[in-house]
Structure formats: C-alpha cells, structure tokens
Amino acid sequence: MEDPNRGLITVTSYLLDEERKHPTATGKLTWILSAITLASKYIAARCRRARLEDVLGSIDCENVQGEIQQKLDVIANETLLKCLGNRGGLAIVASEENEEPIILRSSDDPERPYIALFDPLDGSSNIDVCGGVGTIFSILHHDRRAKPLESAVLQPGYRQVAAGYVLYGPSTILVMTTGNGVQMFVLDPSIGSFLLVEPDLKIPKAYKSYSLNEAYIETFPEGYQNYLHWAHQNGYSGRYAGAMVADVHRTLIKGGVFLYPPTKKAPKGKLRLMYEANPMGMLIEQAGGKAFSGLERTLDIQPEGVHDRVSVIMGSTEEVDHVLAHLKEKP
C-alpha cells in the first residue's frame, strides 16, 4: 500500500525535522536554505517566461570570468543576492558573477555563522534554445578569525555544511544535502512548495555512460583520450547537455561519469572549484559516488582564490575508477 504521507513533506518541514535531531541547532541554516528556495522559485518563473518577457540573449557585458553575461544571469544573480542579503545568519555571500565576496556584516558577529556561495544560472546560454539550466549553491561555516574577512571563504570542500542545486527543466527540481545523505524535491507550482520525492537518493555504482564535450578530445591529456577509446570499445554511450547541473543530475539519477578534463587552453580545468566542483562533489559523495580533480579528491583541494578552476571527474564509483585507472597509466 502506498504511504499516505508520501509527497506531502515540504523542504521546510524536512529541514525542521533535521533541526530537531540536533539540540544545539539555531535555525539559521534552515533560514538561509529557505532563502535559496524562494529565489529559485522566482528564477524558475523567469526562465519559463524568458521569451515572453524578452530576457533572452546577452547584455554585451563580460563578468569577472571574461564571459559574456546573459540577461538571465544578471536576473538570477540579483535575485539570490537580494534573498540572501536579507537573511540573518549570513556573514558573507559570494557569486560566480561577482569579482569579490560581499561582506554583509564587517564586525565580528557571532549571530552570522555562515557563508553562502552560488553559481546563479549554470548553463545560461541554453535558455535561448529551451535547454536545461540551474542554480548551484554551497554553504560554509564562517571563520571569524580569518583576516582579511574575505579569506574566510577559502575553505576546502570537505568543510561544506550544505550544498545543492536547482534544475530548471520540464519540472523544477531541488537536490540538496546537509551532510546527512541527498534528498530530491520537486516544485509543485499549484501550491508553490518543493515536495520531497526521493529521500536518501543513491547513485548507481555503475552505468555505461559518460558525459563530456568530446569536441575537444584532441586537446585532452592522453589518459582521458585513452579512457574514451576504451569506453567506445566497451559499449558506453555519451550524453551531454551543455550545463553542469543537467549533466550531473542525469549522472546522479542514472549513474555513469561526468567529466570536464583539462585542455591545452585550460590546463588546470575550466569549472570553478568553489561554485561548481565542490558543491556537486559533496552531493555525489553523499549519494555514494566519487568526485576527483585529476588524481586528487576534489573536496580535499585547498583553494587559493575564490574563482579557482579545476578539472572534474565525478559519478558512479566504478565509472570514476575506470577513468582514474587510465589517468594512472604510464605512457
């Protein structure tokens, strides 16, 4: 018999239940995560109406990464900054679209124990062709001893206290972890709430599929080229949506491996460690998978700057191991 309560657990009720398991919890983390869910509902609505509201395309302006900003990049970024900036508990917010972290309170304030980082609209160029896009977020504890204050952001991924993403597609999906497994929620637009649909989500241990842009194969290091040659010989399929959120979501649900190798043009890799690789790495690990940057565990990397870039290998344990085995082979 179907559980009569299934589908009636909202993200807020889930977080409040988690709070009750920790007697010292203050509720500040729940308050911050609720701001992210509020922002994501607004962003989802703007994405659905992008062509109707004429917010497709670029604004002929580059962000700090040297990339042309899309109109919805700016809308998503401003929405998250407004929602998070008004919430207590946050000392610092940092966005992929901004050059420097934003200090919300310069004093040594113990009432603001968290830092929030986010990529406001991953894959934003997909909007023009009605493709999948998403928001990625990461929450860290604020080290009030850090000097200057901005340096408190520079923490390795294993110190994250929460991470997640929102995928804006045929439905709006929130996948999140607070360090106690991975939970998947779907936005029910009829009631305006995210409902729990998959508690304690686990990634399959193996699946013959990889996700990467093979157009750059000739610029990949030899180990990645050897892996792809091996995968072709062993019946693997390739899937690539052009947005990390969409590709990692498929990998998380079905299994396989998501790859973003280094290239001759980007020898350190192209994905942002703190805005993309770390939060996605935490989710994959919490779901039972693995996340590496080259031969190093992604969450162990000590960032030197808030916009550091890395390569990425993440997904099912057996599939990640296949890639690592080829990287370890001596020429």
| pLDDT at 149 exceeding the cut of 90 | no
- The pLDDT value recorded for residue 23 is 82
Q: Using one digit for the tens of pLDDT, what is the confidence trace for 95-147?
A: 999 989 998 876 566 667 999 999 999 988 787 787 889 999 999 999 877 77
**Claim to verify: residue 188 and residue 219 sit in the same structural domain:** no
- The pLDDT value recorded for residue 235 is 97
pLDDT band at 252 (very low <50, low <70, confident <90, very high): very high
Distance CA 109, CA 116 (A): 16
Least confident of 61-65, 118-122, 144-148, 170-174: 61-65
Count of alpha carbons within 13 angstroms of residue 104, beta-carbon side: 23
Write down which residue in 135, 165, 198 finishes a domain: 198
- The pLDDT value recorded for residue 57 is 55
**Claim to verify: residue 214 and residue 244 sit in the same structural domain:** yes
* Within-domain flag for 17: yes
**Claim to verify: residue 136 and residue 113 sit in the same structural domain:** yes
* Within-domain flag for 203: no
- The structure tokens 């296949």 sit at 322
| Mean predicted lDDT score pLDDT of the chain | 90
- The pLDDT value recorded for residue 69 is 67
Angle ∠(160,291,69) on CA atoms, nearest 5: 70
Write down which residue in 151, 174, 198 finishes a domain: 198
Highest-confidence range of 71-75, 206-210, 238-242, by mean pLDDT? 206-210
Q: Which two tokens stand for residue 79?
A: 């929405």
Q: Which two tokens stand for residue 237?
A: 């399929």
In 40-113, beta strands by DSSP E: 58-62, 68-70, 90-95, 102-103
- The pLDDT value recorded for residue 187 is 96
Check if the beta carbon of residue 175 is closer than 8 Å to that of residue 200. Answer: no
Kindly report the length of the chain.
331
Distance CA 324, CA 305 (A): 26
| pLDDT at 1 exceeding the cut of 50 | no
**Claim to verify: residue 165 and residue 126 sit in the same structural domain:** yes
| pLDDT at 39 exceeding the cut of 90 | yes
More confident: 45 or 86: 45
Q: How many CB atoms lie within 10 A of CB 176?
A: 26
**Claim to verify: residue 269 and residue 181 sit in the same structural domain:** no
* Within-domain flag for 3: no
- The pLDDT value recorded for residue 104 is 85
Structural domain for 223, as ranges: 209-328
Q: Using one digit for the tens of pLDDT, what is the confidence trace for 8-17?
A: 899 999 999 9
* Within-domain flag for 50: yes
Q: Using one digit for the tens of pLDDT, what is the confidence trace for 186-205?
A: 999 999 999 999 999 999 99
* Within-domain flag for 1: no
* Within-domain flag for 204: no
Q: Which two tokens stand for residue 11?
A: 């993200």
DSSP state of 10: B
Least confident of 69-83, 190-204, 243-257: 69-83
**Claim to verify: residue 149 and residue 232 sit in the same structural domain:** no
CATH number of the domain encompassing residue 121:
3.30.540.10
* Measured torsion, CA atoms of residues 243, 165, 264, 227, in degrees rounded to the nearest 10: -80
Q: What is the mean pLDDT of residues 312-321?
A: 98
Counted domains in the chain: 2
**Claim to verify: residue 132 and residue 173 sit in the same structural domain:** yes
Check if the beta carbon of residue 253 is closer than 8 Å to that of residue 202. Answer: no
- The pLDDT value recorded for residue 231 is 98
Write down which residue in 198, 217, 247 finishes a domain: 198
* Within-domain flag for 6: no
Q: Which of 241, 305, 247, 248 is nearest to 273 (CA)?
A: 305
| Strand 257-260, strand 209-211: pairing | parallel
**Claim to verify: residue 220 and residue 191 sit in the same structural domain:** no
Distance CA 71, CA 57 (A): 6
**Claim to verify: residue 48 and residue 170 sit in the same structural domain:** yes
Distance CA 93, CA 209 (A): 36
**Claim to verify: residue 140 and residue 15 sit in the same structural domain:** yes
Prediction pTM value: 0.92
**Claim to verify: residue 77 and residue 224 sit in the same structural domain:** no
**Claim to verify: residue 41 and residue 184 sit in the same structural domain:** yes
| Partner residues linked to 295 by β-bridges | none
Q: Which of 188, 196, 192, 154 is nearest to 171 (CA)?
A: 188
Distance CA 124, CA 128 (A): 8
